[in-house]
Amino acid sequence: MLRFVIISMLALPLLAQDRTGTIQIRVSTDHADWRYEPGQQVRFRIQAVQDGQPLSGVQVTYRIGPEMLAPVIDRTVPLPAEGLVVDGGMLEAPGFLRCIATIQRNGRTYRGLSTAAFRPEAIQPTQQDPEDFDQFWAAGKAALAKLPMDAKVTPLADYGNAGAACSHVNLQNVGMGAAPSRFYGILCEPRAPGKYPALLSVPGAGVRPYRGMAEIAAKGIITLQVGIHGIPVNLEQSLYDSLGAGALAAYNTFGLDSRDRYYYRRVYLGCVRANDFLTSLPNWDGVNLAVTGGSQGGALSIVTAGLDPRVKGLAALYPALSDVTGYLHNRAGGWPHMFRASEGPLAHRTADKIATTRYYDVVNFARRVKVPGLYTWGFNDETCPPTSMYSAFNVIPGEKKLLLALETGHNTVPEQVAEVEAWVVAFLKGAGR
């Protein structure tokens, strides 16, 4: 016989239920395209949600002002469940106005932001274009050309795939002084015999190893993914971590007081040397060469296209090193923000350092880019401020397409990455044919 025991739910003890979850601060503009005309008022809407539901009973601090500069508005007020709409003011000239909202809860700070654009296509750079810019870099390329490439290529059996074989590449490059240095990367080549276009992939900031771009190589494109620090790119991660925290910390300002000793001289010419190698390969198609990268790599993409006439196209994601002198004119400047501080140990505002940047600022290479390019970024980038990126983009004379992922900061979304890759592959397989 089956016996059923019915227990009243009222008899069960209530269990304590704690909740946790990420709080999201959502800040938006009152224009769907985030765009305004100079002199037009902006209104920002601020909301907080947890588990998809409005959060109330908290204080929100919002700060509004030109991006990367001290806020003009700084207030702390109660945040109602339905959100808060605040008057953000305006800009009288082309640029970007940013609202950053924060709340404190359970010992943590939660943050959101939105950035309104004021006619960004009219932003012009603050950086000066030296009269001897072209002569300086012509001399650098001539010095590089005198150095034998001395390529050392070591197969990497476990880096490839069914369609691509990979190797570690070691090239001779100009050095910081009289002695040469080396330039390293991962080469991936289609396994099938034939002639192929080539793609140089240049790196974002930092110190790290690389695995190459075997998936793109398998699509019929020779790829070379390079590092910039003159060390092999296939070593243990711990080595790069140690260098990044030690000997190579703040490398982006090494030698900034001299245009001949600045760290990026060897880097920029190393990218040309990488192209020397790619165009020497017997399976290169002899015509099609492109360059791509993000952040520092976005900068290097524009620099390489401006320096090397063999480059037929580029895809640059949120380029750094653009209009770094913006801070000297009371507006945002590009990464690495060497002129943001006016005093103290991080200050670099000396005449010789400012003069050096004229020969390395992406703006001045952008003025010389005549080949087609795809450029992409978002308005909320706090590492490479959009003012700095538009400063470079707006002076490019070549064919250019801008792909905006408005809400992104210093990052990409999958749709953006897919579109960039599709553009690069289609360009290389169709350009010059």
Task: Centre a 10 Å sphere on the Cβ of residue 90 and count the other Cβ atoms it contains.
Answer: 15
Distance between CA atoms of residues 375 and 369, nearest Å: 13
Residue 428, classified by CB atoms within 10 Å of its CB into exposed (0-12), middle (13-18) or buried (19+), is buried
Which tokens in the block code for residue 48? 């907080």
Strand arrangement, sheet containing 73-79: 35-36, 108-118, 95-105, 58-66, 73-79
Catalytic position from the list 276, 361, 381, 388: 381
Q: Are 340 and 68 in contact (CB under 8 A)?
A: yes
Distance between CA atoms of residues 207 and 227, nearest Å: 8
410 is catalytic: yes
Task: Centre a 10 Å sphere on the Cβ of residue 73 and count the other Cβ atoms it contains.
Answer: 14
295 is catalytic: yes
Which tokens in the block code for residue 113? 């932001």
Catalytic position from the list 167, 295, 301, 388: 295
Distance between CA atoms of residues 429 and 198, nearest Å: 10
Distance between CA atoms of residues 172 and 180, nearest Å: 7
8 is catalytic: no
Alpha carbons within 13 angstroms on the beta-carbon side of residue 418 total: 3
Q: Would you name the residues annotated as active-site residues?
A: 295, 381, 410
